[in-house]
Amino acid sequence: MIITLDGPSGSGKTTLALMIAKHLNFFCMNSGYLYRGLVYVLKTYYAYDMLKMQTPDLADVAAIFGSGNFRYEYDQGLTKVYWIDNITPFLKDPEISKMAAIIARHDGARAILRQYERSFVAGKDTVIEGRACGSVVYPEADIKFYIDASPQLRASRLQRDQLMRGKSLTDHEALTQIHVRDEMDKTRLVEPLQIPDGAITLDSTNVSADELLQQALNVIRKVLKH
């Protein structure tokens, strides 16, 4: 079974995906971590800057995913990305986030990542989350969710996330970053963020994580009964 969760940055889809996967004992794929991991390797080992991220050498992208050094692991609710060593702690850096949004606009890079995603979860019961999972990567998914939340709440989540990494953002800075990322995701020509056909929208603004999980599980149970 494939369950997809799409939605904007800070909507709560990552937390919900992990909770669903843990509850159902499914594999969990965070597609955003693949983009961030790719960007980190290109920046750190291939000397890419913001400009180069706009037109990546597809031979570099293919080499990274075909090298065996790039690994994505999920176990007991934890997601980790490796390039030889564990690079997960670096993937939420603001510069990595900006670069990930840039390379996500490149059709060739997305095609390589899409192939990697599909081959990696083949044969696994999987919860996969991102921005085009239900619309492009797995349009045939058994269940599709679109997770949303107010910009203010998403900005607050961004502030907490960055504070945990020793970075402080004002309310204005956080909200601005959310709006900029939304605009990039929704207006890109290649696989823009959208509500996938057949997706059920869940809003995390005024509910707890556990309440959101129960809403999702209610939908899943109905599908499993048929």
Whether residue 121 is contained in a domain is answered as yes
At residue 73, does pLDDT exceed 80?
Answer: yes
Which residue is it, tokens 């556990």? 210
| Position 215 in a domain | no
Answer yes or no: is 222 within a domain: no
Model confidence pLDDT, tens digit, residues 86-102: 999 999 898 999 999 89
At residue 117, the pLDDT reads 87
Asked if residue 220 belongs to a domain, the reply is no
Which whole number is the average pLDDT over 130-147? Answer: 94
State the pLDDT at residue 119.
86
pLDDT of 76 > 80? The answer is no
15 burial (CB, 10 Å; 0-12 / 13-18 / 19+) is: middle
pLDDT category of residue 75 using cuts at 50, 70 and 90: confident
What CATH number corresponds to the domain at position 203? Answer: 3.40.50.300
CA angle at 119 for the pair 113 and 124, rounded to the nearest 5° = 125
- Among 130, 133, 151, 152, which residue's Cα sits nearest to residue 143? 133
Mean pLDDT for 116-126 is 88
Q: Is residue 177 part of a domain?
A: yes
First to last CA, the chain: 13
| 49 Cβ contact partners less than 8 Å away, ≥ 6 residues apart | 43
pLDDT at position 126, please? 95
Identity (one letter) of the amino acid at 189? L
- Given a contact cutoff of 8 angstroms between Cβ atoms, the answer to whether 17 and 162 are in contact is no
Q: Per residue in 15-27, pLDDT tens?
A: 999 999 999 999 9
Indicate whether 108 belongs to any domain: yes
Q: Is residue 35 part of a domain?
A: yes
Domain limits for position 55: 2-210
Total domains in the chain come to 1
Residue 32 lies in a domain: yes
99-138 burial, b at 16+ Cβ within 10 Å, e below that, comes to: bbbbbbbbeebbebbbebbeeebeeeebbbbbbbbbbbbb
